[in-house]
Structure 1
Amino acid sequence: MNTFTPVFAVVRKEWRIMLRYPSWFVSLLIWPVIFPFGYLFTAKALSGTGGSSLSQFKSIAGTTDYTTYMLIGTTVWMWINSMLWSFGSSLRMEQMRGTLESNWLCPIPKISILFGYSISQLLISIIFIMVSVVEFKIFYNFVFVGNPLLALLIILISIPAVYGIGFIFASLVLWAKEANSMVFLVRGIMTIFCGITYPLAVLPNWMKKISQFIPMTHSINALRAVIASGAKIGDISREINFLIISGIILMLLGILSFFYTQNKAKTIGSLGHY
């Protein structure tokens, strides 16, 4: 059997399920509008009469355009959140449906199942980002100052790190048999340490140091620099290098985590345990 056959079989299966329940796509239209709204409304209030507080915001964020600043952060957060809920808990969902064991009996590399889920989720993420940009322009007067191709490059080199985390997460969820609390923990860490809606300069020094080890921090910083300030590739070389290196490391760790979990499940016979 071709190595890619099971991968595309999983992708095809996931899309058939999604097209069977088209209401799922409604969330792709709603969340880009309503999720940032609360943060933007609060920022509008805190900016003071006539934007009197924006000068202080600029001194630590480098811009007075808090709308674009927050839209970028919340979009990355929604991408991570979607990845954790769908791809991150994909193996657990198969377990709950009672189909994981039968899939595991197929004479295929088992990790191809996870790669299939990752590709399916990646396609959904691409659609989500495209819809978000259009709706941001319509509802929030979003302005793209920098080079769109450079922004796309940042997203592309962020993918291995994002889905490396997803591989680790999916493996842990399969082992721990619990997704909800782990999703809340991981996305909570991202919210606090990655500066989703505020500059990292306001964090204590120990939190700033931790944030520098999280790839999403560098993705958000690079996207903000390019989209809002028109930064060139040389201006964000540090972020790009970190994303490439961390992506390789996290993807390798994710694959190793999957194989470890697979062997552990075989050893203790817990694959079908609810």
Structure 2
Amino acid sequence: MRPRNDLALNAWALVASARREWRVARRYPDVLISAVVWPAVNPIVFVYQAHAFTGDGTASGAGGLLPSTTAQLAVFLYLGWLVAAWFGLLLTESSASLAGQRVQGSLETTLLAPATRLTLLFGTAPVLIATGVLSYLAVMLSLVLGFGAHIPLSSVLAGGAVLVLAGPALAAIAAVTGTTTLFMRRSGGLVDIARAVSVAFCGFTAPMAILPDWAERIGRVLPPTWTVDALRDAVFGTPSQPDWPRLALLLSGTFLGLVLLARAAFAVGEHRGRRAGTLGGM
């Protein structure tokens, strides 16, 4: 074959391959959504953090400026990213669990069992909540041993109680997000959006007080914000610093409401999937 013809054939094969990959990307738009969401969100985190650094630093829990000492700053940021990483894990694993069963063909078999559908939505939650507590203990050791932070044992235990209290509500958010796998071929894009919203508005890396008013209003109604605020209050202040009755009421109410929403969404998705015959694959 002459070089010119060979070049033309390879070019045509490259075009055909690119068209195929573009069709796949349109069918499973996770990568496209991530490419739009994260470049827009990640810089916001550092802009807010840099803005906080321009103020007079004081040790703070949920409200004030960034702490002034290295140890206090480490506590503030470690606790924020702990909640961010834990919430991201809950979102990702909840969706992946349902999607994996759907791809493997075991979802239809599981649905034939008499067990409640909540086992599918919350089956991974206990392990992931325990994982969050283990991560918290690792963070506490890192702060004490690595940064010399002085954190009383009572405050450590109070922070752990915050995570245990918040775990079901955060898992319920993940369960609602996970039900979208019954309606969409992949829910990774929606998971990315949920994670991006929490990172941008929940004060993981900068105090809520320095956010724009509209952003702070959004952040104040999100359960991850309540979690990280209460966690910082417990560690920076005293075990009685968080408003425990209000926190328990907010988180338990959120959990119950989202459980009902997840159950209803799952029922609709199951009915739709049975009619369309899509429960057994992607």
Task: State if a TM-score over 0.5 links the two structures.
Answer: yes
The CA deviation at 1:152 is 2.5
Distance in 1 separating the partners of 2:276 and 2:149 = 53
Distance in 1 separating the partners of 2:75 and 2:85 = 15
Q: Which amino acid is 1:178 matched to?
A: R
Q: 1:234 to 1:181 in 2, by over 3 A?
A: closer
String of CA shifts for 1:23-56, please: whole Å, max 9, x gaps: xxxxxxxxxxxxxxxx99x979x95xxxxx5624
For residue 184 of structure 1, the aligned residue among 179, 186, 192 is: 192
Query: Which runs of 5 or more structure 1 residues have no equivalent in the other structure?
Result: 1-38, 48-52
Corresponding position of 1:18: none
Q: 1:175 to 1:82 in 2, by over 3 A?
A: same
Q: Which of 247-256 and 69-78 deviates more?
A: 247-256
SS of the residue aligned with 1:89?
A: helix
Distance in 2 separating the partners of 1:236 and 1:71 = 22
Q: Over aligned residue pairs, what C-alpha RMSD do you find?
A: 2.9
Q: 1:102 to 1:88 in 2, by over 3 A?
A: same
Q: Is the 8 A contact 1:160 1:251 kept in 2?
A: no
Q: 1:62 to 1:130 in 2, by over 3 A?
A: closer
Q: Which amino acid is 1:247 matched to?
A: F
Q: Which amino acid is 1:165 matched to?
A: I
Corresponding position of 1:124: 131
Q: How does 1:149-160 map to 2 (within 5 A)?
A: 149-160=157-168
Corresponding position of 1:214: 222
* 1:232 maps to 2:232: no
Q: Is the 8 A contact 1:167 1:258 kept in 2?
A: no
* 1:82 maps to 2:85: no
Q: Which amino acid is 1:226 matched to?
A: A
* 1:55 maps to 2:56: yes
Q: 1:132 to 1:174 in 2, by over 3 A?
A: farther
* 1:144 maps to 2:144: no
SS of the residue aligned with 1:264?
A: helix
Query: Which runs of 5 or more structure 2 residues have no equivalent in the other structure?
Result: 1-44
Q: Which amino acid is 1:76 matched to?
A: V
The CA deviation at 1:270 is 1.8
Distance in 2 separating the partners of 1:203 and 1:235 = 23
Percent identity of equivalent pairs:
21
Corresponding position of 1:110: 117
Q: Is the 8 A contact 2:169 2:251 kept in 1?
A: yes
How does the TM-score come out when normalised to structure 1? 0.72
The CA deviation at 1:58 is 5.4
SS of the residue aligned with 1:113?
A: helix
How does the TM-score come out when normalised to structure 2? 0.70
Q: Is the 8 A contact 2:163 2:227 kept in 1?
A: yes
* 1:195 maps to 2:203: yes
Q: 1:200 to 1:266 in 2, by over 3 A?
A: same
Instruction: Give the structure with higher Rg (CA).
Output: 2
Distance in 2 separating the partners of 1:182 and 1:204 = 25
For residue 244 of structure 1, the aligned residue among 238, 252, 255 is: 252
Q: Is the 8 A contact 2:95 2:175 kept in 1?
A: yes
Q: Give the number of equivalent residue pairs.
A: 229
String of CA shifts for 1:147-179, please: whole Å, max 9, x gaps: 333222221221221111111011012321213
The CA deviation at 1:141 is 3.2
Corresponding position of 1:25: none
Distance in 2 separating the partners of 1:180 and 1:138 = 37
String of CA shifts for 1:80-109, please: whole Å, max 9, x gaps: 111112123210012223332333334433
